[in-house]
Amino acid sequence: MKKGFDHEKYLQEQSKYILERVNNYDKLYLEFGGKLLFDMHAKRVLPGFDENAKIKLLHKLREKVEVVICVYAGDIERNKIRGDFGITYDMDVLRLIDDLRSYDLDINSVVITRYDDQPSANVFINKLQNRGIMVYKHRATKGYPTDIDTIVSDEGYGKNPYIETSKPIVVVTAPGPGSGKLSTCLSQLYHEYKRGNAAGYSKFETFPVWNMPLKHPLNIAYEAATADLKDVNLIDPFHLEAYNEIAINYNRDVEIFPVLKRIIEKITGKESVFKSPTDMGVNRVGYGIFDDDAIKEASKLEIIRRYFKTSCDYKKGYEDKETFLRVKMIMEQLELKEEDRRVVLPAREHSQRLKEASNTDICPVVAIELQDGTILTGKSSNTMNGTAAAILNAIKYLANLSDDLHLLSPLILEPIINLKTNTLGSRYSPLDCEEILIALSISAVTNPIAQAAMDKLPMLKGCIAHSTTMLSRTDEEVFRRLEIDVTADPEYQSVDLFYNN
């Protein structure tokens, strides 16, 4: 995809702006909105953006930074899943700690927010403490959000234990939204001012982009990404009144701003320096855009991608109908069609031909678009599923190998299928993407042609794909690791219930 974003310029602007905020205080509590690592949404809508830009920025400031991670006890209790990794929020906290440490960042602690003695939360707390991680428990804040006098008192924020910190920038992050980051920041401000320390609060934001038009596809793509949260972009009325300047924010920040401003003023005992919710944000992403047309095109493709994901999640019961209809409305608002994603039609047409030829209702097909624009397909068979077939066809093409050539001998595949079905008792005999790639890697030891194909796997990075049926979690994970952006029609691969998840 054509680049439209200058990653280096963004890093310079953002780090400069953060340091300007720090200079006003002894300590700055910096709430991180969005993903701290692997921000794939930003990478997709801003071609040229590094998905780890935020963590690399913090790495540059690591001498001044320590990190507090928040996780809502209720999300631990109900095993909430982070969709892009397929892991629960508590496991994502562990992954986040490991990743932050790999960038030489100090982990101060983990805060369990809105803690109410949930059994699963207690197990997680024990797990962290047994590994030497400091844990704080914050219960629901009494009086929040209307009773400011109670909130800003020893009965409100004062009930929370004070988190001991030592560096001028305290980054407060979380696995996902609704984790209690803002409450943790304000609780710390309360304790800091009781101790006579001049502390401040800011929010590291990426989306919506405040200095882009309200109806720009980039900002609309953010609405599609947060449809489950019912976020709506709007013109910041407080910013317009204070500065006579249009700035874009979203409903939750605008709605809570008057309360937040009063809480900060109550804590500090003086008028807030923030005149609008946009003021609170540290967001320079708009200054990194150099090709608006490229950004618009990428954002439209992301909206279509979100539509497919939401459709599948709705089919599986993970999303409600309101969320699905909201994303569908966004598609219609921009006059986008499913087929605008170029791989969709070839996959569906091939599947339809197979259905007519075999007189069956379900014929899974996966289509992959390579970097040169070539679209290849793979169909499910008794030997392998459509994802595996599409991957093999793609790397054969990239290695200039004949399409008729079999990379994997039946002598290798048959024992694996036998192990899978007869020994391990699987009801589904075709090999999935991971199983086929393992078999290919074994073949490559003695087969130079298989090795030549294996060597082309990195060239699939950045390609897009579409499946006419929903993928298994294993296949989704393989595509994610290969960095292939895949979507699927909201159709199951079979009529099975338990064996088709």
Percent of the chain whose pLDDT exceeds 90 = 78
- Per-residue pLDDT tens digits for 445-489: 999 999 999 999 999 999 999 999 999 989 999 999 999 999 999
What pLDDT was estimated at residue 425?
87
What pLDDT was estimated at residue 81?
75
Residue 84: pLDDT band with limits 50, 70, 90: low
Residue 1: pLDDT band with limits 50, 70, 90: confident
- 379 phi, psi to nearest 5 deg: -115, 155
* Mean pLDDT of all residues in 128-137: 97
What pLDDT was estimated at residue 130?
97
For the chain, the C-alpha Rg in angstroms (whole number) is: 25
Token pair for 91:
């496991």
Long-range CB contact pairs, 370-377, < 8 A, 24+ = 370/394, 370/397, 370/398, 370/459, 370/460, 370/463, 371/459, 371/462, 371/463, 375/342, 375/343, 375/346, 377/346, 377/347, 377/350
Token pair for 193:
């001012």
Q: Give the whole-angstrom CA distance, residue 89 versus residue 86.
A: 10
Cα–Cα separations (whole angstroms), residue 485 to 96, 293, 313, 400, 432? 23, 21, 17, 23, 18
- Per-residue pLDDT tens digits for 9-21: 998 998 888 888 8
Q: Give the whole-angstrom CA distance, residue 141 versus residue 419.
A: 55
Among 203, 195, 138, smallest CA distance to 165 is for: 195
**Residues β-bridged to residue 376:** 368
Q: Per-residue pLDDT for 170 more than 80?
A: yes
Domains of the chain from N-terminus onward: 1-204 (3.10.630.10), 341-500 (3.40.140.40)
* Beta-strand relationship, 365-369 and 281-282: unpaired
Among 216, 487, 462, smallest CA distance to 339 is for: 487
Q: Give the whole-angstrom CA distance, residue 5 versus residue 292.
A: 9
Residue 332: pLDDT band with limits 50, 70, 90: very high
Helix (H) / strand (E) containing 249? strand 248-250
Q: Per-residue pLDDT for 442 more than 60?
A: yes
Q: Give the whole-angstrom CA distance, residue 288 versus residue 49.
A: 9
* Mean pLDDT of all residues in 56-71: 94
Percent of the chain whose pLDDT exceeds 70 = 98
- 17 phi, psi to nearest 5 deg: -70, -40
Decide if 202 contacts 28 (C-beta within 8 A): yes
* Predicted model pTM: 0.90
Q: Per-residue pLDDT for 85 more than 80?
A: no
